Structure 1
Amino acid sequence: MSTGTIAVFGATGHQGGAVVDALLDHGAQVRALVRNPRSDQAQALAARGVELVAIRADDPASLVTALTTVQGFYFMTPEANTLEEIEAEIRIGTALVDAAAEARVPHVVFNSVFGADRESGVPHHDSKHRIEEHLRKSGSTASMIRPTAFMENFASVMAPSREHGEIVLRLPLPADVALKMVSIRDIGRVAAALLLGTAEAPDGVIELVGDELTGPEIAAAFGARAGLPSRYEALPLTVLPNEFDQAMFRQFAELAQNPSDLTAIRAIEPATLSLAEWIQATNWTPPTAPAVS
């Protein structure tokens, strides 16, 4: 097990934060690379014993300095929703890869996305494919983790509703398509295991799939928790706000044609959550029924 400092870029976000949580649970020394050490999120990390190092993505020297002497480096790239943001994402990702190579970091873990092994036509996924390719060519020892859809989305943008005594789930996926998903907690645990050397990714890649269920099966899992009948409604892709999201859900349907090996992630993190376990672990409660006018 690695006993040196592990650097994390993206530590104030959800996925990076889960990596920090898992590393601290193992007693690791964590160095967070942050733009603003005075932010509330950064100070909350410092209060937990995380070392803060200020960096600028457009300043290679600051990146190399921040990565000097670390034993491992986890990074993810900023969320991108426009072509301009995607180009910025690629610049940041390649700058981090170059800095890790120059600092001779022993092991780099890149938080990519499921399906990034090839160009897919999904702009904000293809950007990660390009960063993966750059990382492979850098000469660094690296692992790619490729998460699928987050279970946490069912607590926000994909949350089921309660209507007329039923739990109703609506997604822009055909009813016979199985959605691959994983909890953010488990993304962090797998990344930490790789960084600490307690596990290895086969061929340098691990696709993070904790569960895969069709829309009706997902609705039934929430209905079982609520003690209510459930119903699933497949929506057209046009309900999505932009072409990026439409392309992403189109890719979800395409990737569903190949069932995942659900034992792969559990070989690294045996306690990986299924959707039913995530629902229980998060103490999900059904939404309040709408008032009758």
Structure 2
Amino acid sequence: MVTRENGAIAVFGATGQQGGAVVDALLARGARVRALVRTPKSDRAQALAARGVELATVRIDDPASTVAALEEVDAFYFMTPEANSLEEIEEEVRVGTALVDAAAAARVPHVVFNSVSGADRETGVPHHDSKHRIEEYLKLSGLRATMVRPAAFMENFATVMAPSLEDGTIVLRLPLPNDIALKMISIKDIGQVAAAILLDTADVPGGAIEVIGDEPTGPQIAAAFGARAGLPSRYEALPLSVLGNDLDKAMFRQFAKPSEYPSDLAAVKAIEPTTWDLAEWIRSTGWTAPADRVRS
């Protein structure tokens, strides 16, 4: 890679979870970071500035602002806003393609797109296929590009997929068959892998990597939480009907299909040897069992 002296690494999405993890990893490696933000006065943007991150204001509807923000950078990481409806999916693609166009106009030496696991093909999951469309657009741009494709977040087990404690048993319920493995990764490790690629310290054959740290089944996930709590565990597979969002239903329907492609955990470990598996995430985050729901 041809780098410019003291060039910055540009990050779009720096105020979010994944982009924030990338910024953390870059700063820890001593890199100059330029955050492309739409609201520089926001608390999150100002918190980045307080850590020494340069702020560049961009407006997607004003391509010149984005091109200017990408001038003289060594590399550019971007992710697109997560879509929760079909209308938002089209907006996601519009933002993604506009960022690619700006990177091409600014002649950015290396672009890293934070995509999603499975986006190398169309899957029928609308908010994953949108990232496939952006990947394809990026490939046609002529830019040197790397696709980072994270699996499901382990952090979901602290929020929407959190296990419960019922009558002294750790209980995990997901709309996923018992025998299907769920690929997963910690957000921290997404940042570590992306930073290594941006700084050109990692080799990614083929220009794409699925970022995965573990792939346990539902019963194995429940058992990992049970082991941490020192309690018995139980897994219960739920029907897709428990999901209120059609996009989530499409996603879990895809998750329920046996994977056609083997995961390459070794490739991720080669880039970031400290990548967490689920048990390490549970331990490192200090997870503790919730309050018991004792049936009367």
What is the TM-score with the length of structure 1 in the denominator?
A: 0.98
Alpha-carbon deviations, 1:76-115, whole Å to 9, x = none? 0001011111111000000000000110000000000001
Residue 117 of structure 1, CA deviation:
0.7
Residue 261 of structure 1, CA deviation:
1.8
Matches within 5 A, 1:133-212: 133-212=136-215
1:15 pairs with 2:18: yes
AA of the residue aligned to 1:36: T
Residue 281 of structure 1, CA deviation:
0.7
What does residue 94 of structure 2 align with?
91
What does residue 264 of structure 1 align with?
267
What does residue 243 of structure 2 align with?
240
What does residue 29 of structure 1 align with?
32
Residue 135 of structure 1, CA deviation:
0.2
- State which of 85, 94, 98 in structure 2 corresponds to 1:82: 85
- State which of 273, 287, 296 in structure 2 corresponds to 1:284: 287
Q: Structure 2: how far apart are the matches of 1:95 and 1:280?
A: 40
**Corresponding residue SS for 2:210:** strand
Alpha carbons 1:90, 1:127 under 8 Å: kept:
yes
Q: Structure 1: how far apart are the matches of 2:262 and 2:179?
A: 13
Alpha carbons 1:179, 1:256 under 8 Å: kept:
no
Identity across matched positions, percent: 73
- State which of 268, 273, 290 in structure 1 corresponds to 2:276: 273
Q: Structure 2: how far apart are the matches of 1:173 and 1:257?
A: 17
AA of the residue aligned to 1:219: A
**Corresponding residue SS for 2:133:** helix
AA of the residue aligned to 1:136: K
AA of the residue aligned to 2:247: F
AA of the residue aligned to 2:219: P
Q: Superposition RMSD on alpha carbons, in Å?
A: 1.2
Q: Structure 2: how far apart are the matches of 1:184 and 1:106?
A: 26
Q: Structure 1: how far apart are the matches of 2:7 and 2:284?
A: 32
What does residue 254 of structure 1 align with?
257
Unaligned runs of 5+ in 1: none
AA of the residue aligned to 1:50: V
Residue 252 of structure 1, CA deviation:
1.3
Q: Structure 1: how far apart are the matches of 2:158 and 2:29?
A: 28
AA of the residue aligned to 2:117: F
Unaligned runs of 5+ in 2: none
Residue 291 of structure 1, CA deviation:
5.9
Higher mean Cα deviation, 35-44 or 246-255?
A: 246-255
AA of the residue aligned to 2:210: E
What does residue 48 of structure 1 align with?
51
**Corresponding residue SS for 1:213:** coil
Q: Structure 2: how far apart are the matches of 1:168 and 1:160?
A: 6
